[in-house]
Every structure is written in structure tokens, then in C-alpha cells.
A = this chain, B = another copy of it.
Amino acid sequence: MSNLYNQIVIFGDSLTQFSHNAFEKGWGAALQYSYIRKLDVLNRGFSGYNTELAKHLLPQLLPKKNNPTKNPKVFLLIIFFGANDAAIQPSVQHVSLEKYKENLKQMINIIKDPDSPYHSPETRILLVTPPPLNEEARVKHKGLKDRKSDVTAKYAQACVDLANELNVPVLNLWKLMTDKVTLTNVTLNDLLSDGIHFSSLGNETLFHELLDTIRKNWPELDPDNLKPLTHLWTELNYEINLEQQVNSLEFNIINQLGDSL
């Protein structure tokens, strides 16, 4: 019997790694809570990593196709890099704009290319752009200028451009947060705790947009449209065999999304 729920994999740098911080309303934990009893949200965040490292790591995080074993399905892969690629030289984190786009493309192809050992038609992909940088706060926190606001903006745009080229959904976090600062009373300091990482408000902002983006692009993955894998306790008939009633977990995992793709 299988013990593993199907998955949403969130793959990124510290903006993902830190997203399970329950004391800052982490967006990853909030996403996991939205899918409780339905899907596991696996945090595959790697602080400091750029796409140059990520492209080598990704295949190790994915099930191989044609694997005879019953792997859980990855229904959604969120790829969320760029904040470190945008570091300026001589930072070792720096990756050129062109290379950043190329690396993102390679990661997408690991899933989409029918010849890839990790080809998976059931895996939806969502790109997330880096958020805007609060240069002043970053310098204050880090003690040096290793990133520039207008450079990060270019990486965000490159991510959007690539998504459009490849027809992959994208959450433009740079625009979302920049608009919020321009159009409301919220400041970048309210959204980012140290110029680059999310505050509670930043986490909440991303989380809500993420759910909206999922709902819009893949209504079948809307948590409200997914049934829990096990009966609610109020649905059970306590007068008859309980074991039979709770014994359908494996079946439900295997058939969770039916033929929605």
C-alpha cells in the first residue's frame, strides 16, 4: 500500500526555504494548510541557490518516468528563482540574465520534454519572479551592495518573458509587490523584512496571489475543488464496519485527479 499523498513541490531559494516559518505566516506553510488531507506541499527551498545550481538539483527531486514503483504524483511544481541570480558581480551567486533564462528553460524542459527521463505530463509548472529589492534595507542588513533594484527588475521581467515564450503560467511577484507599494499605503519595508526576504505581510501577499493563480490556471487544483483523501468524520456511519470505510486511502490517492489532464 502506498503511504504517500500526491504533491505540490515548491522549489526555490531562501524565499522558499523560509516559507515554512510559522512564526512569520510563511507562504509555504499556508499553502500546505490549504491542501491539508488532500496534497502534501514539499518545501524544496535552498537558501542562496541560483538557477545554475538548481538545474542540477531538480532532477534529483523528481520521480523518474516509467518507474515501476508507485511514486506519488507531482501535480504542481513551483519554480521560484532569480533573487540570487540577480546578485551583481563579483558575487559568486551572480548568473547572467541570458543564462538565467536558459537555466529556467532547461528546468521546464526536464518536465516537459517527452525525451526527458523526468517527463511528466501531469506536472503543472508555475514560475514565480523574484520580488522587488529594497536596496537600502539590503545594504543596511548585509553591509554591502550585492544586489541592485533595477537589476533584479530585469530578472523578474526575463522570467515573465520566458514564461510567455514557453506558454507557462507565471506569477509576477515583482509587479504584484511594486504595484502594492505604488497604489496603496504599503511600503517595501512592510513587505520585506531585510530588503529581500518576506515579512508576515509579504508572505500573506504572496500566498493569496498564489492561490488565486492556481485557481485561475488549474481550477481542478483549487483546494476547494479537491476532495479530502479520507472521509470526514461526520460522513462516517459508526453503526457499520469502520475499517472498510477508512480503507480507501490508496484508491483515492491513485485516482485523485481522474483524467483532468
Chain A residues engaging chain B, CB cutoff 8 angstroms:
1, 3-5, 17, 20-23, 25-27, 29-30, 32-33, 36-37, 40, 42-43, 45-49, 52-53, 56-57, 59-64, 69-71, 84, 92-93, 203, 230, 232-234, 236, 238, 242-243, 246-247, 249-250
Contact = CB atoms under 8 A, between A and B. Distances in A.
A56 B230 CA distance: 12
B33 A3 contact: no
Contact of A20 (B1, B29, B48, B236): B29
What is the copy number of this chain in the assembly? 2
Contact of A249 (B23, B36, B61): B61
A11 to B, nearest CB: 11
Nearest to A59: B1
A60 B1 contact: yes
Contacts of A69: 69-70
Nearest to A5: B42
Nearest to A17: B36
19 contacts: A1-B60, A3-B60, A3-B61, A4-B4, A20-B32, A20-B36, A22-B30, A23-B30, A40-B42, A40-B43, A46-B233, A48-B232, A48-B233, A52-B242, A56-B242, A56-B243, A57-B230, A57-B249, A60-B250
